[in-house]
Structure 1
Amino acid sequence: MKPSRTSLKIGELATGQDLELPIFQFEPADITAPSVYIQANVHGAEVQGNAVIYQLMQLLENCELRGKVTLVPLANPLGINQKSGEFTLGRFDPITGVNWNREYFDHKVDVAAWYAEHSHLADGELIQAYRAMLVERCQIRLQSEWGVTTGQQQAVMLQRMGHEADIVLDLHTGPKACKHLYCPEYDAEAAKLFSIPYTLLIPNDFGGAMDESVFCPWWQLSEYVGAQGRELTVPVSAFTLELGSQEYIDLDDALVDAKGIMAYLSHRGVVADSVPAAPMQRFACYLKDYKKFHSPMGGMVEYLAKVGQPLVAGEPLANILRLDQYGSSKVLTPLCLSQDCVPVLHFASASVYQGTELYKVMTNVFVMTNSE
């Protein structure tokens, strides 16, 4: 099956040209499985997700699909085109300074009031009504008489498409990073299916990102309904996949991650073919144990700790070179941590201010599953 292609206008430039997104969709004639929404490149320099979508579409063309799959590469045209010399700066909205991935709408649903009006509905009808409400609230937000910012316009339009799906995957990368997955705590078993060795288990709270904007309202509904004595499993799954480092694509590696996504879709019944999860050790920590290490001084950094490789307490993390201190003991300062960790990402540049976020590391790491 070949995908259909459409476009979506998400804004206008100062010179009047439309900003449009390409949208690809696979829609089988007989839909019997969850629907899927996948987007990539919300941050301008994080391009590997586009390569994964490319490989994934080729795999989807040659399998039997039971659910609708919508794919949105190049999801942030403003950020992608925000260049300075050879670098892409598109992490923050240049107008407001807000992170492009923190522009999503917090519905703040009064779940008690909503459920009081809809408690008579059967589970399927209840889910359908709640989804329609979330989509409608996005539309109302976009039509505010006071308008919305450029970044909010884009984000809420993406979020609206996400709310229409049962499974949402947001594809990102880090500055210099290993692969890792942001996974809500209630859906931890899903992390064992993707081709990603490290998982951050995040609380079921809204922090501004796309995945949270999608799953948090459903988690809140499920929790409230449960407190009323009615069991309702969270019907929506949403994850952020961090696929390595920015400003770089690798088609062979993209195929590995596309196959990992296929394994998850197979497990959910979206893909009729049986696709096994890649055999690998998978490790995790809770978000509270994901620590930021900030540079204690300015200078030039030699990054010693390799991302994705465990670091024993006391082993060198980095060196800070201060040539202005040449001839003194301060010319080279080694940096170490006092606890075992796994470095997940580090700052892209070797030139840093004091206080720069040098590394993010996982602590209190545990094994999720062994190699199969």
Structure 2
Amino acid sequence: MTEANRTSNAHVSTVQLGELATGQALTAPIYTFKGSDSAAPSVYIQANVHGAEVQGNAVIHQLMTLLEGHQILGDIHCVPLANPLGINQKSGEFTLGRFDPITGVNWNREYFEHAAIVADIPNWYQANKALSNNELFAAFRVLLAQSCQQRLNNSWGISTGHQLAVTLQSMAHQADIVLDLHTGPKSAKHLYCPEYDVASAAYFSIPYSLVIPNEFGGAMDEAAFYPWWQLQRFCARQGRHFDVPVAAFTLELASQERVDMADAELDAMGILAYLSHRGVIAEKVQPAPMKRWGCDLANYKKFHAPKAGLVEYCAEVGHPLKAGEPLVTLLRLDQYGTENAMTTISLPCDCVPVLHFASASVHQGTELYKVMTKVFEIS
């Protein structure tokens, strides 16, 4: 579709994320809705960093469709199809694009920590403490953008995956709100939410939240909020108090290799409710009436296959499981006729299974399930 026959309010551009071996530019589209209020929060949303995790693209489509009917106050930048290399990494009918095929590194663990900036916050603040809060935030944002650019221009070069990730990160650093849309293998919807911002989980149309430490672990959400949280914490020790200026979340939108447009609209409405709460749009959008539950990341447990075999996944994701109820049944045809041919396994505690491995054929030690334990209600 050419710009001449478009009827959308979104401006379309592209970002170059690298180059293919044959020399062609590797690009992703950017859709920008320009806000009318420069004081309103700005938003960056991306999807499909992992190749098989396509539902986030459908959510972006539904969200942009909804935005056409709202008064937009803050700038909103949407980047679907954010990892063309991963998206096109196919084997037969399956998409393998979770790991960089060159290095084997998870595409979502390639972001830049800004360790030097974080370590130098005391000196940087001393040189900038006379600035107002808004001026301080603007200066810190410039610092982060410059750091990304220096990383991209490293004279020794950087890996393909790091090039792609830091390019995306440099765009995210321009926003006050960062949403990274993912899915699991076979998964219930869940939200990764930093400790300092748990209350925000009540706005998204997502029943389960993993409350993560205010630390950097390599993912986009952490890369976006971690330097700001460090700045806020240091300033608080100096007697200067303000909320963490940047909010960042990872939304896990059920299972990979799946597009469901009706479900995508529900999740888009949840994002719209959050944007309404933050003043990004003028209209009031109420969050979906639903129970929301949380779990500290330390209580998010992995269950690994005690032996190899064929697996029946008995526990339904997103549904509470009582201690002792069947989690999986392992079938070993090489041991047919013995008591070891079929084994039912349960867990010793109550939990909520959140996701499970996609394949029914597993090695010993395969991560079969991730489950929430010590679950609490989020008001």
Question: What is the distance in 1 between the residues matched to 2:295 and 2:121?
Answer: 30
Question: What is the distance in 1 between the residues matched to 2:322 and 2:339?
Answer: 25
The Cα shift of 1:82 comes to: 0.2
The Cα shift of 1:158 comes to: 0.4
Is residue 40 from structure 1 mapped to residue 47 from structure 2 by the alignment? yes
Secondary structure of the 1:117 match is helix
**1:278-357 → structure 2 map (5 Å cutoff):** 278-357=288-367
* Unaligned ranges ≥5, structure 1: none
1:193 corresponds to which of 186, 200, 203: 203
The Cα shift of 1:111 comes to: 1.4
2:70 corresponds to which of 63, 70, 74: 63
The Cα shift of 1:114 comes to: 1.4
CA shift digits 1:16-43 (9 cap, x unpaired): 1110110000003443310000000000
Match of 1:77 in 2: 84
Question: What is the distance in 2 between the residues matched to 1:30 and 1:210?
Answer: 27
Secondary structure of the 1:23 match is strand
Match of 2:194 in 1: 184
Secondary structure of the 2:378 match is strand
Match of 2:161 in 1: 151
TM-score scaled by structure 2?
0.96
The Cα shift of 1:113 comes to: 1.7
Question: What is the distance in 2 between the residues matched to 1:340 and 1:177?
Answer: 18
Is residue 172 from structure 1 mapped to residue 179 from structure 2 by the alignment? no
Question: What is the distance in 1 between the residues matched to 2:155 and 2:58?
Answer: 39
Question: What is the distance in 1 between the residues matched to 2:37 and 2:237?
Answer: 36
**1:13-32 → structure 2 map (5 Å cutoff):** 13-32=20-39
CA shift digits 1:127-176 (9 cap, x unpaired): 11011100110000000000110000000000000000000000000000
TM-score scaled by structure 1?
0.98
Question: What is the distance in 1 between the residues matched to 2:273 and 2:37?
Answer: 21
Secondary structure of the 1:39 match is strand
Match of 1:259 in 2: 269
The question of whether the paired residues in 1 share the 8 Å contact of 2:36 and 2:72 is answered with no
Question: What is the distance in 1 between the residues matched to 2:376 and 2:164?
Answer: 37
CA shift digits 1:37-92 (9 cap, x unpaired): 00000000000000000000000111100000000000000000000000000000
Secondary structure of the 1:168 match is strand
CA shift digits 1:67-125 (9 cap, x unpaired): 00000000000000000000000000000000000000010122112112111211111
The Cα shift of 1:232 comes to: 2.2
Question: What is the distance in 1 between the residues matched to 2:19 and 2:196?
Answer: 39
Question: What is the distance in 2 between the residues matched to 1:111 and 1:32?
Answer: 25
Match of 1:94 in 2: 101
Is residue 235 from structure 1 mapped to residue 258 from structure 2 by the alignment? no
Taking only the aligned residue pairs, the percentage that are identical comes to: 64
The question of whether the paired residues in 1 share the 8 Å contact of 2:323 and 2:348 is answered with yes
Question: What is the distance in 2 between the residues matched to 1:352 and 1:364?
Answer: 28
Secondary structure of the 1:49 match is helix
Question: What is the distance in 1 between the residues matched to 2:201 and 2:91?
Answer: 36
RMSD across aligned C-alpha pairs, in angstroms? 0.7
* Unaligned ranges ≥5, structure 2: 1-7
Question: What is the distance in 1 between the residues matched to 2:49 and 2:127?
Answer: 37
Is residue 123 from structure 1 mapped to residue 133 from structure 2 by the alignment? yes
2:226 corresponds to which of 216, 225, 230: 216
The Cα shift of 1:363 comes to: 0.1
Is residue 140 from structure 1 mapped to residue 150 from structure 2 by the alignment? yes
1:273 corresponds to which of 242, 265, 283: 283
Question: What is the distance in 2 between the residues matched to 1:207 and 1:55?
Answer: 30
CA shift digits 1:153-200 (9 cap, x unpaired): 000000000000000000000000000000001000100000000000
Question: What is the distance in 2 between the residues matched to 1:326 and 1:75?
Answer: 47
The Cα shift of 1:249 comes to: 0.5
Q: State the AA in 2 paired with 1:98.
A: V
Q: State the AA in 2 paired with 1:16.
A: G
- Give aligned pairs, total: 369
After alignment, is 25-34 or 94-103 more displaced? 25-34
Match of 1:3 in 2: 10
